[in-house]
Amino acid sequence: MALFSRSSTTKGSDQVEIADAIIDRVGHAHLELIPTPKAHLQFEHLPANSIVSVTASPAKDLQATMDMAAQLIDLGHTVIPHLAARMVEGPEHVATIARWINDHGVQDVFVIGGDAPEPFGPFLDAAAFIRALLDSNADLARIGFGGYPDGHAAIPDVALAAALVEKQQLVLSAGISGWVSTQMCFDTAQVTRWLTATRAAGLELPVHLGIPGVIDTVKLLTMGTKLGIGASLRYLRKNRAVVSKLAAPGGYDPMDMLAPMANDLDRLDISALHVFTFNQVANTVAWQLAVGGGASFLDHTALDASGTAPTASIATSQEH
């Protein structure tokens, strides 16, 4: 198969063909929403049966995440709530979360350490809360957790690498699976280096590549630090050419990140895209449709929660 084949998009005066591997993942992308007071206005822009991640923020409690997730589930979407360990108040709160997971048929959760400066309870990091969740009666198929190609401002790289292995072992030992979702990084070469090294060090789980959607650049740069992507923002400040490109009208295209990685998506088991929409869903969905060439491209009715098409013979289940 030729590297670029099935579809094409126009950028400026040039028509650029897009690799099959990219097209498939764009069509099945997970769209991230932030539970803000006006987030419900974005619901109408979601394609039917979308896979939607709902974030957790120390500015709110986890109930805000679960309430918005429940609304999206009622609309027919597959929802992956983010659960921040440092926002969990204790064993009773874990039991409440587990009951909510079971009552709403949630199969996947994404666990992060969280940015709350002081923990609400005894859980200081993602691994501690994952242990508690696995010991609860939550009927989960998969647990996702974060990976940091750009590093973390407050955690040494050695500790990040050890935590990644620990969390993988926790979920696999429990007889379920999961994934690693990368925090936003604009340096595709760095993402590839990090993931290649992490695979060599023992990472077996599939990876969801975190990328910005088609968003207003000012909103990206002003909201970025709230979502734990400070390291990438420091990268942007040091690379003015990238900043200028993002700031120019029409200057940022998610394909700028995806095209250089076309040969690596399958090799490194990047199974899905996690798209940071910054609650600007319509722009990203329009981009998805342009990549796929039509409205039927985003028919997700045959997908399972992992973002892959189920087969007849195999039942797949799939921050520090």
Structural domains in the chain, CATH included, are 17-293 (3.20.20.220)
pLDDT over 60 at 5, yes or no: no
Could you read off the pLDDT of 132-182 as tens digits, one per residue? Answer: 999 999 999 999 999 999 888 778 889 999 999 999 999 999 999 999 999
Average pLDDT, rounded, for the chain:
82
88 vs 80: CA distance, rounded Å: 17
259 vs 319: CA distance, rounded Å: 27
pLDDT band at 14 (very low <50, low <70, confident <90, very high): very low
Tokens of 71: 């609304």
Q: What is the mean pLDDT of residues 97-118?
A: 95
pLDDT over 50 at 3, yes or no: no
Amino acid in position 66: M
Q: Is residue 215 within 8 Å of 284, Cβ to Cβ?
A: yes
Radius of gyration (Cα) for the chain, nearest Å? 19
Task: Give the HSE-up count for residue 10: Cα atoms under 13 Å, Cβ half-sphere.
Answer: 2
pTM for the predicted model, two decimal places: 0.83
Q: What is the mean pLDDT of residues 79-106?
A: 97
pLDDT at residue 57 in the model: 81
pLDDT over 60 at 47, yes or no: yes
Beta-carbon contacts of residue 72 (< 8 Å; ≥ 6 apart): 33, 43, 46, 52, 54, 79
pLDDT at residue 70 in the model: 98
Residue with tokens 């923002």: 233
Residue with tokens 């409205």: 295
